[in-house]
Amino acid sequence: MEDEEDPQCGKPDFVLLDHVTMEDFMENLKLRFEKGRIYTYIGEVLVSVNPYQELPLYGPEAIARYQGRELYERPPHLYAVANAAYRAMKRRSRDTCIVISGESGAGKTEASKHIMQYIAAVTNPSRRAEVERVKDVLLKSTCVLEAFGNARTNRNHNSSRFGKYMDINFDFKGDPVGGHIHSYLLEKSRVLKQHVGERNFHAFYQVLRGCEDSELQKLHLQRNPALYSFTRQGAGLSASDSEERCHHQAVVEAMHVIGFSAEEVGSVHRILAAILHLGNIEFVETEEGHLAVAEDQLVDHMAELTATPRELVLRCLLARTVASGGREVIEKGHTAAEASYARDACAKAVYQRLFEWVVNRINSVMEARGRDPRKDGKDTVIGVLDIYGFEVFPVNSFEQFCINYCNEKLQQLFIQLILKQEQEEYEREGIAWQTVEYFNNATIVDLVERPHRGILAVLDEACSTAGTITDRIFLQTLDTHHRHHPHYTSRQLCPTDKTMEFGRDFRIKHYAGDVTRTGCPILCPEPVQGCTWADCGPELSSHQGTRQGCGSQCYRINDPGVPGHNCSP
């Protein structure tokens, strides 16, 4: 790594550009990338370009070069930002925060790991045991959270499928004494279905490929992920057995370092196995007209792995409890479609609770212990926000809608802090400068969150209204409220745009690109029977099979050939 910037590598700070145009910006970014410079400043903001390869930019020697230096003393680097946040926190005794933003696959998760490694490396010179324990938990927690919250996508082989904000508490000497992890919006639908070319969460494949034969036998599992409904889609995309085994061992070792007992690790594996067995359960109708499980052995496995009586497992799968108007509680049997829906909902709920338990278990070990501000002084905090990246998929579900909304809010924060406040400060100090025009995405945020008229408000109203509410009615309401909005459109409002379907799709023009959303993944309260293939448009009119739908709109079940849907012909 060079200690000085070569003029031939372009401008290390975009503020130094002679002409601030998009063409000059991109040309400087390209020049630096070709010279191996993946980092460039915009003032105190660091722009990073993912090289998708290992570069010799990190490690103890690089940390030593940036430790204790001012931001611009060395070439742009992630360590310089981490060092600036750490020094500002120590110098001013004020909380600081590092926000990592970018589209999916930009390298945000790797950036957060390097920030943690830097903080761990520059703290605790006196080698206090408690501080070392906290540092070990901070570093090892990343490995565990990646196993349960990350997955392979088409853009990234280790994509975070949840949002994470980590608080690191420091004492008056600047040593970490604790921390807390907040998780947001786990993509639990990934348990059931994945886009073509993507996998389920890493943890499932690591258990199947990494456990010893004796443990797999106790879990009633086989090594082949293709044998299980929830991992079949990504079975052919799995890493080699040896690689998955190494990942599994690293996660188990990290859990032990954090403080998970052997029994707790075993319980986690049993829950993962129970979810896999649950996904393979199918329902059939008996000659008497009752619903039954096609393979009883799977119910036995579920009961054993979850330590639940077999009768309770069976009742949960085949019936639901309903409270009548007279406060009488009755048990109503499921139809095959209702049982399948309940099975999938149960799988998602169990995995989400497992993930939240893992996060809470890490927090219980990592939290600051026995801190008394009167005796120990006031703790300060560095926050690291690693949130979802902006996503555009062939089929964009409600989860992508929420993810992109979060990114709109982050973009609004950047605009507020970097552009609006800076220009207001120039005006207050009477500095001569040229006004920089920028796009304010407040109008897009308002489109989503505005009370009574925003997309979320309309969706809430549709879901709480009595009677049958279909995607078509939901879409018509949006069209009525936003027909003149510059960032909203649908086929009804733009009949010539054949990339959208009538009565099904709408499009939001985000700051990072246009995203078309299909009505059905947004609003699907209960599955109903009776749709025909033609209801979903001409592209599926030649398909045959059983289907479920949402009101007047349909969605496909288990069709591996259709990206974004959990369908089978």
d(CA 385, CA 162): 12
Strand segments (E) across 461-551:
488-490, 505-510, 513-518, 528-529, 548-550
Active site residue 156: yes
Active site residue 160: yes
* Tokens encoding 339: 């049982």
Whether 259 has a binding-site annotation, put simply, is: no
Active site residue 212: no
Q: Please, are residues 488 and 480 in contact by the beta-carbon 8 Å criterion?
A: no
The dihedrals phi and psi of 546, each to the nearest 5 degrees, come to -85, 145
The dihedrals phi and psi of 538, each to the nearest 5 degrees, come to -65, -25
Among candidate residues 10, 105, 149, 519, the one labeled active-site is 105
Whether 437 has a binding-site annotation, put simply, is: no
d(CA 527, CA 551): 8
CA 370, distance to chain mean position in Å, is 33
Whether 105 has a binding-site annotation, put simply, is: yes
Whether 129 has a binding-site annotation, put simply, is: no
Q: Which of 187, 215, 186 is nearest to 305 (CA)?
A: 215
Strand order in the sheet with 513-518: 488-490, 505-510, 513-518
Q: Exposed/middle/buried for 215, CB within 10 Å: 0-12, 13-18, 19+?
A: middle
Active site residue 267: no
d(CA 145, CA 148): 5
d(CA 314, CA 299): 7
Collapsing DSSP to helix, strand or coil, 380 comes out as strand
Collapsing DSSP to helix, strand or coil, 77 comes out as coil
Active site residue 105: yes
Among candidate residues 187, 198, 338, 391, the one labeled active-site is 391
The single-letter DSSP state of residue 377 is -
Among candidate residues 109, 231, 489, 558, the one labeled active-site is 109
Among candidate residues 389, 454, 519, 551, the one labeled active-site is 389
Active site residue 430: no
d(CA 195, CA 24): 37
For helices 398-414 and 442-449, what crossing angle results, to 10°? 140
Among candidate residues 28, 40, 48, 104, the one labeled active-site is 104
CA 70, distance to chain mean position in Å, is 34
Among candidate residues 48, 142, 156, 397, the one labeled active-site is 156
Return the number of other C-beta atoms located less than 10 Å from residue 234's C-beta.
23
Active site residue 104: yes
Pairing of strands 548-550, 553-555: antiparallel
The single-letter DSSP state of residue 142 is H
Whether 109 has a binding-site annotation, put simply, is: yes
Among candidate residues 101, 124, 142, 160, the one labeled active-site is 160
Whether 102 has a binding-site annotation, put simply, is: yes
d(CA 272, CA 207): 8
* Tokens encoding 192: 């059931």
Whether 106 has a binding-site annotation, put simply, is: yes
Active site residue 561: no
How long, in residues, is the chain? 569
The dihedrals phi and psi of 272, each to the nearest 5 degrees, come to -60, -40
Question: Binding site, residues?
Answer: 102-109
Q: Which residues are annotated as a binding site for ATP?
A: 102-109
Active site residues: 104-105, 109, 156, 159-160, 389, 391
